[in-house]
Amino acid sequence: MTEPMKPRKEVGAAFFDDALYECYRRIGYPEAWLEEGRTYPPEKAYVISHPSWFFEDNPPIPDLSIDGLFRETVRRCPEDVAVIFFDRPVTYAELDVLIGRYAALLKDLGVKQGEVVATMLPNSLQHIVAFYGAARIGAIHTPINVMYQADEVAYQIEDSGAAHICMLDLLYDKVKPLHEKGTVKNVIVTNIKDFAAAEPVVSDAVKFIWDIPKAPVPGTLDLFETLDKYEPLAESAACDPKADTALLLYTAGTTGRSKGVIETHFNLVFNSMTHTHAFRAWGDREVNFSIMPMFHTAGYFLHLLPTFYQGGTVIPIPMFDLKDALRIIQVYRVNVIFAPPTLFIALMSKPELLRQADLTSLKVTIGCGAPVPVAVQEQWRQHTGVGLVNGWGMTETNSGGVISIPGIKEKSDAIGIPVFSEVKIVDDAGAVAERNVQGEIYYRGLQLARGYLNKPEETAACFLPDGWFRTGDRGYVDDEDFVYFVDRIKDLIVASGYNIAPVEVENVIYRHPDVAEVAVIGVPDPYRGETVKAVVALKPEAKGQVDAQAIIDHCKQHLATFKVPRVVEFMDSLPKSAVGKILRRKLRE
């Protein structure tokens, strides 16, 4: 392993020089975007990431599909371990064969270039094979949340146009009606035990499905039994990386049905390379604890794609289990974790286990899915000795659009700096705001998705003609080019005319030593319009010992009166999404 690269000197705000221009020209950035950036004076809330903030320059983006980029890694390091799945190591050469066989299977089923193939799989070797196998023949991959019910599955299948699916056998009943009426032509099933080691360690979280005997599913193809019948398809299909869609990721909207976000091969290749070259703080071999689901943007853009580009190892985690997570980190010397704040909180809930664990392999831990409260960052460092920093991104920005760089460009309360891209803050009048003034976060970069599938009006409203994307997030930029997330604009509480950011109140409550989780929402108030409500989950040892007044008194010490919760409710645990993000909308309901 090579030594980690030395960071280079930081530069000031909105700094345009020859190095910046050369960096952005190399990756194909439009000249007009750079010229626009130069027009903003230093006092304006605009920031473009400077190459000196990162560990190394990014090379030119090759004219390859995402599978073509993967095959470059196969040629470079065929015997290195690409995946460890239930304690079974799979080399890049072995994975390439599995992908080639799956691609041949799809072709035999009549799947054509540009057609959509769905998956309904947890994080697994099978999911990785299905994604790259579809890419190899130029098909489009759309992953479906394994927790979806039949009507949600039907919506995504019908909206995306997927006529083929590879899925967990236990979930077949959710697709069966579509299969029987012919909407889905081919169903390929796999069992969670397929492709695992002969005698793996099975966590308590997975055991309840592991112990269900594998049984045939009539009318479907068994992936494990079928693959060996095919000769691997070795060559990637020809494609136009900037025009051809590789991935349709569905993102939940604040209203209505989820939206299919169109990701091109170029988006995926660009992300793979820029994330690797920007953040290679741990040397050249990443061992990635892949906990963010692969039906979520972070599962691809923070776990899978950058790791495979650099020839590292992905350890797909189907379901989180605290004890097994610590085992995996120690046995396989995991050095990178991207995860929601709730995962780090869960690990710290068992301090005796953390104290016994050898976590010296960890180099980078970054929060995603939601901002990590400063108190949680501090507690994590105290428990582990490892820094925990923030990141921010959306499905539309290909996940890590803004990330703190550990030890180089980080502030605990900021979400970080843009990744080879730009951010500006726009006020209510549509003008670029001053620094340290809140407004809507606008984002621009080559990693931006092409738009929303079958939704031209929503695409036009968010993806602007000059390349900027309206995020719907409220934030600001400080004097050192750090970007701060305040809250989702639609989540802001308006009480007596004051705008209150739930995240700010949550960060204060997280500093209470007895609080495990908290979510702050606005509830109707006949006098104030809305008032602040905190929903709190206490640490086990504090249950029954802390009352609502204790939380309110704590907030009064740190917040203006109008921000202090008037209502406090206690729950054993808070509702969460598949990626561990606390769902305020469920609490509002």
In a domain, 522, yes or no: yes
Decide if pLDDT at 4 tops 60: no
In a domain, 345, yes or no: no
Confidence category of residue 48, pLDDT binned at 50, 70, 90 = very high
Residues 505-511: what's their mean pLDDT?
Answer: 92
Residue 151: per-residue pLDDT: 85
Mean pLDDT for the chain overall? 91
Look at the chain and report how many structural domains it folds into: 1
Q: Look at strands 422-426 and 402-403 and give their pairing.
A: unpaired
Higher pLDDT, 444 or 8: 444
CB atoms within 10 A of CB 461: 11
In a domain, 254, yes or no: no
In a domain, 542, yes or no: yes
Domain that holds residue 582: 492-588
Residue 175: per-residue pLDDT: 98
Radius of gyration over every alpha carbon of the chain, rounded to an integer in angstroms: 24
Confidence category of residue 92, pLDDT binned at 50, 70, 90 = very high
Residue 284: per-residue pLDDT: 61
Amino acid in the structure at residue 493: I
User: By mean pLDDT, which of 139-143, 170-174, 363-367, 368-372 is the weakest?
Assistant: 368-372
B/e letters for 377-416, b = 16+ CB within 10 Å, e = fewer, are bebbeebbebbbbbbbbbbbbbbbbbbbbbebbbbbebbb
Residues 243-252: what's their mean pLDDT?
Answer: 93
Residue 7: per-residue pLDDT: 36
Decide if pLDDT at 8 tops 90: no
Please give the DSSP secondary-structure letter assigned to residue 565.
-
In a domain, 501, yes or no: yes
Amino acid in the structure at residue 439: G
Decide if pLDDT at 370 tops 80: no
Decide: 241 and 266 in contact? Cβ < 8 Å. yes
Decide if pLDDT at 80 tops 50: yes
Confidence category of residue 559, pLDDT binned at 50, 70, 90 = confident
Decide if pLDDT at 196 tops 80: yes
Residue 254: per-residue pLDDT: 45
In a domain, 344, yes or no: no
Decide if pLDDT at 578 tops 90: no
pLDDT tens, position by position, 325-355? 999 999 999 999 999 888 898 899 888 898 8
Q: Which of the residue ranges 209-218, 390-399, 501-510 has the most confident prediction, judged by mean pLDDT?
A: 209-218
Q: What is the CATH number of the domain that holds 574?
A: 3.30.300.30
Name all contacts of 394-397 with Cβ < 8 Å and 24+ positions apart.
394/251, 394/297, 394/471, 395/249, 395/251, 395/261, 395/297, 395/449, 396/251, 396/261, 396/448, 396/449, 396/462, 396/463, 396/469, 396/471, 397/421, 397/443, 397/445, 397/447, 397/448, 397/449, 397/469, 397/471
- The percentage of the chain sitting over the pLDDT mark of 70, rounded to a whole number, equals 95
Distance separating alpha carbons of residues 221 and 234, to the nearest angstrom: 22
User: By mean pLDDT, which of 222-226, 453-457, 557-561 is the weakest?
Assistant: 557-561
Q: 206: which 2 tokens?
A: 């997975």
Residue of 478, 472, 479, 415 lying closest to 442 (CA atoms): 472
In a domain, 503, yes or no: yes
User: By mean pLDDT, which of 257-271, 442-456, 517-531 is the weakest?
Assistant: 517-531
Confidence category of residue 1, pLDDT binned at 50, 70, 90 = very low
In a domain, 516, yes or no: yes
Residues 82-93: what's their mean pLDDT?
Answer: 99
Residue 9: per-residue pLDDT: 37
Distance separating alpha carbons of residues 25 and 101, to the nearest angstrom: 39
Decide if pLDDT at 283 tops 70: no
Residues 455-481: what's their mean pLDDT?
Answer: 95
Residue 580: per-residue pLDDT: 79
Count the residues in the chain.
Answer: 589
Decide: 399 and 423 in contact? Cβ < 8 Å. no
Residue 189: per-residue pLDDT: 99
Higher pLDDT, 147 or 517: 517
Residues 30-55: what's their mean pLDDT?
Answer: 90
